[in-house]
Amino acid sequence: MAVIHHTTLKPTKLELLTTWLPTRPWYRGGADLPVLEKSGGFRLDDPEGEVGIEFMVATDASTEQRTAYLVPLTYRGAPLDGAEHALIGTTEHGVLGKRWVYDGCHDPVLVGALLSLIEGGAPAMAQSISDTPDREVTRSYTGEALVADGLAPRPTCDEEGTRLPAPQGTTLRLHRVLEPVAENPPLPPGEVLGHVASGWQGPGGTRLRAVLMVLNRD
């Protein structure tokens, strides 16, 4: 399992995201840069132990109407071949040295781990505590086995989020802008085969929750 190092990052993840988020089609802010807070998220383990995988909820607190974004990230000790367009930036880790930070939707390691989570084969792990499952993350799946070996991610983004072709004629839809709902959020209409939901910190000590992503049949 991944070891969480409580150390420095220069620049920080939020500093990297502050300039990257406004370049995304699903960004809801205006001309000014966002003021970001890390509000929640979870991690997944790379079976090879080489790539850090995090699903961060970053909240823009620059306006009265706070906006929470889902940002899948991967952290690598060397550049990912062919993924220059997905690089968010580099940072200096106090223990691991230079790290390349990617939009994880373009990283095959993250996509494979996410499909395993949806199927129930891999647990969601706490964002900031080593070797600790995140019990707030829920998932479901009712389809056939998802074989992700050799999958080359080809995500597309629009104003609603990110679509990612998946095995067995399915599509992952990541909700990049999170809309808080009831404690047991309803799934969207259509042929939904699986989903992942979780919560994050809201204003005034509240706890918000939403469906983060769904797996549909094409």
Give the 3-state secondary structure of 64-112: CCCEEEEEEEEEECCCCCCCHHHEEEEEEECCCEEEEEEEHHHCHHHHH
pLDDT one-digit tens code per residue, 138-163: 999 998 888 777 778 999 999 989 99
pLDDT one-digit tens code per residue, 3-44: 666 778 899 999 999 999 999 999 999 888 999 999 999 999
Asked if residue 76 belongs to a domain, the reply is: yes
pLDDT number for residue 11: 96
The larger pLDDT score, comparing residue 168 to residue 19, is at: 19
pLDDT one-digit tens code per residue, 50-60: 999 999 999 99
pLDDT number for residue 190: 61
d(CA 45, CA 181) in angstroms, rounded, equals 28
pLDDT number for residue 164: 95
pLDDT number for residue 185: 60
| DSSP codes of every residue in 178-213 | E----SSPPPPSS-EEEEEEEEEE-GGG-EEEEEEE
Asked if residue 41 belongs to a domain, the reply is: yes
Mean pLDDT computed over 100-114: 96
> Does residue 87 contact residue 100 with C-beta atoms inside 8 Å?
yes
Q: Which of the residue ranges 22-26, 114-118, 162-166, 178-182 would you say has the lowest mean pLDDT? A: 178-182
CA-based nearest residue to 25, from 91, 103, 81, 111: 103
Asked if residue 163 belongs to a domain, the reply is: yes
Asked if residue 1 belongs to a domain, the reply is: no
CA-based nearest residue to 188, from 216, 160, 164, 218: 216
Asked if residue 85 belongs to a domain, the reply is: yes
Q: Is the pLDDT of residue 189 over 60?
A: no
pLDDT number for residue 64: 84
pLDDT number for residue 4: 64
d(CA 39, CA 23) in angstroms, rounded, equals 21
Q: Where in the sequence is the domain holding 16, given as residue range(s)? A: 9-217
Asked if residue 3 belongs to a domain, the reply is: no
pLDDT number for residue 131: 86
Q: Please state, in angstroms and as integers, the Cα–Cα distance from residue 41 to each residue in 17, 22, 167, 175, following that order.
A: 15, 20, 25, 14
Q: How many domains does the chain have?
A: 1
Q: Is the pLDDT of residue 176 over 90?
A: yes
Asked if residue 117 belongs to a domain, the reply is: yes
Asked if residue 175 belongs to a domain, the reply is: yes
